[in-house]
Structure 1
């Protein structure tokens, strides 16, 4: 079982984006998770990690919920 963290920028208004990603991950991968956490941040951050390893960073990739879920799934298996 694994832990997923979604760190998002509060001042940027990324909360809805983080909630969308959280729902999508739970919708398909809930049985593989011990915990999924939303982590508040700033400075434009939007990062998703599985067991401490980054699988998505807004600084490096275009935001795509489906691609983020695929990246999380790949890390869980």
Structure 2
């Protein structure tokens, strides 16, 4: 596996881990930690610009949850 592919796989795993932690009711700080680790891996791999929007969305959701606002409704199919 090429280094870029390995970084992408690690980033994907970290994002999914953070998402799963939220779904399972784990401390949101743990989810934040996973998202920030994903961003650090992306930065090291030189693909931060592609990953940052994904992480920023998740961090915004964490902030919304901390403020007690419900998550946005999913788009209509």
TM-score by length of 2: 0.30
Rg (Cα) greater in structure: 2
Bigger RCO of structures 1 and 2 (CA < 8 A, at least 6 apart): 1
Q: Please identify which structure carries the higher helix content.
A: 2
TM-score by length of 1: 0.30
